[in-house]
A = this chain, B = another copy of it.
Amino acid sequence: MDVAMKRKPSTEATAAWIRLMRVQSRVLDAVEHELKKAGFPPLAWYDALFELSRAPSGELRPVELEKQMLLPQYSTSRLIDRLVDEGLAARRECKADKRGQFVEITDAGRELQKKMWQAYSAAIEKHVGSKLSDGDAVKLCGLLDRLGCSCSEAQPLAVRDVASAR
């Protein structure tokens, strides 16, 4: 390991880092707050329900969910617990691999997902859409994507996801 690897970032890069952290935090807080105000569960629940709902036959292995959502394993496991407790998903045995299981979204789960999207999409429009032209949104996507894959990659899908199911 070369000592020179530890180069200092430029002022511009540092400024971008700070913006990324602060703006994300504010926008996320704002959106989460609106969802909560409307009586909905946290965004993570939506994300999970969304991933399940668009999966073939509405079910996914926990491992897959985990990868889609960038969550640690234990975190996914407990999120599923909660969804199951609330009747939004069900655990199903996996015959092919008995260590594993399938998580299947229920009708109630699908319904909640759709309802949440009403409030969620309105919040996105309010806190992102209304502040940026479509062209600028595309530029922003492009710049962010370049930062994306410092670690693992995952979902190269997200773009068209948006276009379709939501």
Contacts and interface: CB of A to CB of B under 8 A. Distances in A.
Interface of A: 5-30, 70, 118, 121-122, 124-129, 131-132, 134-141, 143-148, 150-151, 155, 158-159, 161-163, 166
Contact of A125 (B13, B138, B144): B13
B125 A147 contact: no
Contact of A18 (B121, B126, B162): B162
A152 to B, nearest CB: 8
A34 to B, nearest CB: 11
Nearest to A8: B121
B131 A150 contact: yes
Given A8-B125, A14-B121, 11 more contacts: A7-B129, A8-B122, A9-B124, A12-B135, A14-B166, A17-B27, A18-B161, A20-B23, A21-B24, A26-B148, A26-B151
Contacts of A16: 128, 132, 137-138, 140-141, 144
Given A144-B20, A150-B127, A132 B13 contact: yes
